[in-house]
Amino acid sequence: MSCKIKIGIVVQQFPVSSETFILTKVLGLIEQGFDVRIFATYKSKNWEKFGLSLNQICELKKRLIISPLAYKNNLVIFCLVATRLVLWNFFRYPYFFVKLFYQEKVFYKANQTSFISYFLYKLNFIGHKLDILHIEFDFQAYGLLNLKKILGCRLVLSGRGDITRTSVPYLYKDFYPAVFGAVDYYHFISYYLRDEALKKGLNQGKPWKLVEPAIDLNLFNPKVRPLHRTPITLISVGRLSWAKGYEFMIDAVALVARKYPDVQYLVVGDGEYSEAIQFAAYQHGLLQRGCVQFLGLISRGKIPDYLQLADIMIHGALEEGFCNAVIEAQAMELPVVCSDAGGLPENIANSVTGFVVQRRDAQAMANKIIYLIENEEERILMGKAGRIRALQRFDLIKQKQAFTEMYLEVSQLNQ
Amino acid sequence: MLRNWIKFLPFINKREWDIIHAEFLGIGYSYLGIKHLLNIKYFVSSRGSEINTIEINPQKHQLVKTLQDCDGIHVVSEKMLDKIIKLGIPEDKILVNRPAINFSQYKNLSKQETNIPLILSVGRLVWIKGLDYLLESFRLLKDKKISFRAVIIGDGPLFSELQYSISDLQLDEEVQLIGNIPPHKVSNWLQKASIFVLSSHEEGISNAALEAMGAGVAVVSTACGGMDEVIQHRKNGLLVPIRNPVVLSNELGSLLLDPIRRKQLGKEARITIENKFDLSRQTQMFEAFYRNEL
């Protein structure tokens, strides 16, 4: 039955290492028999690091539709691709083509955005006869809202992070009423994000479902960590961006290092904020002493090995949707000290699988780290509790079922 | 390669240059070839960002090469002089010439402080300015129920992030980001401001802080880069440790409650600028340096 439902997934780039949840979700949906199309603005070059089988890659590439904007750097190819797209759609789907053209003119007049790029981008969606259009990041939805009318499909949005963190809502006056008015079904990854959306004017009665992120637990098999291990190793995994609050984490580690000078801190990931973070480590003297090590990007398959090396995961985000890295840490029996940003208090169980501290408070985080360093028994117990929590709550198999249910529910909604 | 040649063309056409002075270290590296090409005196200025973070800069050896190859180096503070000497550059080709402002523009500004004291910060919205820590200290001030308003002038890549932080810390009423504004409007804000705050992690010497001092505003600054060569703690301003919102908010708090002390610091600051950081002194030093090298 479900095999008839055709779902279009909209993302910026595909696949991205910091957004593997999209990848796993898509693979799961294909497995369940949904007809999935992925609409991406850009395509990633390296697919090897995601640990996909050849079959999976073929399957994904077949379903991947790249926008002509991806070729913007090469004018010749861009023109060729764009012309082909325009001609093809004009003769094949003249009705949709004209409809889109008219709608785009209205949108352009209201917002003064680039007409050509929006028009070309949206042309891609024509002719796929989608039942459901799912925009994976709600802040990207504004420009695509008129597609719902043109295609006559249902619109699903995912709330994966606080919208206000991006500059988009500040750009358009009617952002929230327009987005919240057009959406048919909302998927949230944490209760926190729904509360925030309600505060911004989302209708209480709007159908929604909580589907928490999940991980493939088969990939995370913790081994027993040796007792009385010194020095203690802290670890953080994530994109080196402002939102992850690394500067405050470095401050916290510096406070810990005053008491335990040999503490080790591994930073896994790369990103636009890396200079700021490295400089913070340098100014605290941690970089020179080798206390902090920046490991850069590490392929997904090797992450469990690094988590196995560590004793405590720290995550001091300023803004966070949910954070898969924290789930992975729990699955690897690591206690987690994290901030109270976004969905993190729902991710770990405070005082059971780790500690939640106030965001931006380096001293509070340092205190909890020191507590865990000094209480080995509790550290190990919290780690074990984390594994149990991950097994019970963040299993990929359960998530796949939840998404199937969600899409079936969406397809039964009245238009 | 071709791009390099095109870049050099304007210099080759006119062979009457005596000195070419690259105003920043990064640009100094990209034009370094011209020194060998024309066999000309080549100077660079090191003003901040590149040298401040050189230890973590992947292009470190290129920057060091630029410093080694050029004929003269202008740095903006003693601190930076030490840093460059540590990189193995001989001291005799380095000129310390601190930044300066045109004091006559600020001499006649009269203070018109607002009823609720205003804290002003001016700078690009980038990580090195430490604005997250500043916002955190504002939050601590609010927790202590000290009334204030704050305005942050400037634009940059962290605009939306800082806007998010302001509402996340529930400072919407107190703190305003107003983006870039023209210089004469900055002067208007300086007139109204009770305190100017610089929360940077690292600096050369901040011109914005010098301008605030010239306008007679009490300055609270982190002890970053060369700022301690301008500000003597508790004499003509206040210095606080870097990356420490608690101390910063304590100093801001005590100053907010003490208008007389603010006035005193502002007055002293003005004297410092007039005596040591006026434009005329800077120009003379450059002139002497250039003549000496020729």
A337 pLDDT above the threshold of 80:
yes
Q: Confidence band (pLDDT; 50, 70, 90) for B14?
A: low
At the topology level of CATH, where does B2-99+279-293 sit? Rossmann fold (3.40.50)
Q: What angle do CA A267, A268, A271 make, to 5 degrees?
A: 100
Q: B-side interface with A, Cβ within 8 Å? A: 53, 55-56, 127-128, 132, 136, 158-161, 163-165, 167-169, 201-202, 242-243
Cα separations in angstroms, A116 against A132, A141, A409: 25, 18, 36
Edge-to-edge strand ranges of the sheet holding A233-237: A292-296, A264-268, A233-237, A312-315, A336-339, A354-357
Q: For the segment A340-352, what is each residue's pLDDT rounded down to a tens digit?
A: 999 999 999 999 9
Query: A282 and B128 in contact by Cβ < 8 A?
Result: no
Q: Taking CB atoms and an 8 Å cutoff, what residues of chain A touch B132?
A: 247, 318, 360
Cα separations in angstroms, A71 against A14, A56, A82, B240: 15, 25, 9, 50
Query: Judged by CB atoms within 8 Å, which residues 307-366 of A form the interface with B?
Result: 318-319, 360
A381 Cβ contact partners less than 8 Å away, ≥ 6 residues apart:
none
In terms of DSSP H, where are the helices of A93-244? 94-111, 115-123, 146-151, 168-171, 175-182, 191-199
CA distance A300 to A318: 24
Q: Token pair for residue A77?
A: 């190819």
Among the listed residues B268, B292, B28, B255, the one whose alpha carbon sits nearest the alpha carbon of residue B146: B255
A246 pLDDT above the threshold of 80:
yes
**Looking at residue A1, what is its pLDDT?**
45
A186 pLDDT above the threshold of 60:
yes
- Arithmetic mean of pLDDT over chain A: 91
At the topology level of CATH, where does A233-393 sit? Rossmann fold (3.40.50)
CA distance B28 to B65: 10
CA distance B172 to B164: 10
Around Cβ A128, how many Cβ atoms within 10 Å? 16
Query: A280 and B243 in contact by Cβ < 8 A?
Result: yes
Cα separations in angstroms, B171 against A279, A397, B90: 28, 43, 49
Identical fold between B2-99+279-293 and B103-276: yes
**A304 preceded by a cis bond (ω within 30 of 0):** no
Separation of CA B270 from chain center: 17
Around Cβ A79, how many Cβ atoms within 10 Å? 12
Query: A242 and B158 in contact by Cβ < 8 A?
Result: yes
Which of the following CATH numbers is that of domain A6-67+124-214+396-411: 3.40.718.10, 3.40.50.2000, 1.10.287.3510, 3.40.50.12280? 3.40.50.2000
User: Cα dihedral sign for B193, B196, B197, B198?
Assistant: positive
Residues A212/A393, Cβ–Cβ less than 8 Å = yes
Q: Token pair for residue B292?
A: 């000496």
Q: Token pair for residue B39?
A: 């066999």
Residues B261/B117, Cβ–Cβ less than 8 Å = no
In terms of DSSP H, where are the helices of A228-361? 246-259, 274-283, 303-309, 324-331, 344-347
Phi, psi (degrees; rounded to nearest 5) at A101: -60, -45
Query: B201 and A283 in contact by Cβ < 8 A?
Result: yes
Distance from CA of B86 to the nearest CA of A (A): 16
Q: For the segment B260-292, what is each residue's pLDDT rounded down to a tens digit?
A: 999 999 999 999 999 999 898 888 889 888 888
Could you say which of A251, A284, A319 has the minimum Cβ distance to residue B164?
A319
Among the listed residues B275, B187, B225, B263, the one whose alpha carbon sits nearest the alpha carbon of residue B77: B225
Query: A275 and B159 in contact by Cβ < 8 A?
Result: no
CA distance A175 to A355: 36
pTM, two decimal places = 0.89
Query: B160 and A170 in contact by Cβ < 8 A?
Result: yes
Domain ranges in chain A are: 6-67+124-214+396-411, 233-393
Report the residue of B243, B246, B247, B248 to disrupt the A interface, i.e. the one with the largest count of A CBs within 10 Å.
B243
Q: For the segment B219-233, what is each residue's pLDDT rounded down to a tens digit?
A: 999 999 999 999 999
CA distance A353 to A357: 13
CA distance A196 to B276: 53
Q: At what angle are helices A75-92 and A94-111 packed, to 10 degrees?
A: 120
Half-sphere exposure of B153 toward its Cβ, with a 13 Å CA cutoff? 22
Cα separations in angstroms, B267 against A271, B27, B109, B239: 45, 38, 12, 17
**Is any Cβ of chain B less than 8 angstroms from the Cβ of A166?**
yes
Closest-CA residue in chain A for B244? A251
Distance from CA of A313 to the nearest CA of B (A): 23
Q: For the segment B20-66, what is each residue's pLDDT rounded down to a tens digit?
A: 898 898 888 888 888 888 888 899 999 877 888 888 888 899 999 99
Among the listed residues A135, A126, A185, the one whose alpha carbon sits nearest the alpha carbon of residue A163: A135
Q: For the segment A7-22, what is each residue's pLDDT rounded down to a tens digit?
A: 999 998 888 877 788 8
**Looking at residue A2, what is its pLDDT?**
43
CA distance A166 to A175: 12
pLDDT more than 90, % of chain B:
64
Identical fold between A6-67+124-214+396-411 and A233-393: yes
Least confident range of A222-231, A233-242, B29-38: B29-38
Report the residue of B86, B138, B142, B168 to disrupt the A interface, i.e. the one with the largest count of A CBs within 10 Å.
B168
**Looking at residue A276, what is its pLDDT?**
95
Among A117-121, A179-183, A410-414, the range with the most confident prediction by mean pLDDT is: A179-183
Edge-to-edge strand ranges of the sheet holding A154-159: A64-66, A35-43, A6-14, A132-135, A154-159, A185-188, A208-210
CA dihedral B97→B101→B103→B108, nearest 10 degrees, is -160
Higher pLDDT, B121 or A4: B121
CA distance A170 to B99: 37
CA dihedral B274→B279→B281→B285, nearest 10 degrees, is 160
Q: For the segment A366-399, what is each residue's pLDDT rounded down to a tens digit?
A: 999 999 999 999 999 999 999 999 999 999 889 9
Among the listed residues A40, A34, A49, the one whose alpha carbon sits nearest the alpha carbon of residue A13: A40
pLDDT more than 90, % of chain A:
63
Q: For the segment A195-209, what is each residue's pLDDT rounded down to a tens digit?
A: 999 999 999 999 999
Domain ranges in chain B are: 2-99+279-293, 103-276
CA distance A156 to A375: 46
CA dihedral B130→B132→B133→B139, nearest 10 degrees, is 150
Distance from CA of A176 to the nearest CA of B (A): 16
Distance from CA of A188 to the nearest CA of B (A): 20
Closest-CA residue in chain B for A164? B164
Separation of CA B169 from chain center: 27
Q: Taking CB atoms and an 8 Å cutoff, what residues of chain A touch B83?
A: none
Query: B127 and A167 in contact by Cβ < 8 A?
Result: no
Q: Token pair for residue A414?
A: 């009245």
CA distance A286 to A146: 52
Distance from CA of B79 to the nearest CA of A (A): 15
Q: What is the mean pLDDT of residues A107-126?
A: 84
B98 pLDDT above the threshold of 80:
yes
At the topology level of CATH, where does B103-276 sit? Rossmann fold (3.40.50)
**Looking at residue B138, what is its pLDDT?**
97
Q: At what angle are helices A54-63 and A20-31 packed, to 10 degrees?
A: 90
Query: A242 and B55 in contact by Cβ < 8 A?
Result: no
Q: What is the mean pLDDT of residues B1-29?
A: 79
> Which one-letter amino acid corresponds to residue B178?
I
Cα separations in angstroms, A107 against A103, A112, A113, A166, B266: 6, 8, 8, 21, 53
Residues A360/B162, Cβ–Cβ less than 8 Å = no
Secondary structure tally for chain A: helices H, strands E: 17, 13
Closest-CA residue in chain B for A274? B56
Separation of CA B211 from chain center: 10
DSSP B89-125: --GGGEEE----B-THHHHTPPP---SS-EEEEES--
Residues A118/A101, Cβ–Cβ less than 8 Å = no
Q: What angle do CA A343, A346, A351 make, to 5 degrees?
A: 125
Could you say which of A162, A282, A284 has the minimum Cβ distance to residue B56?
A282
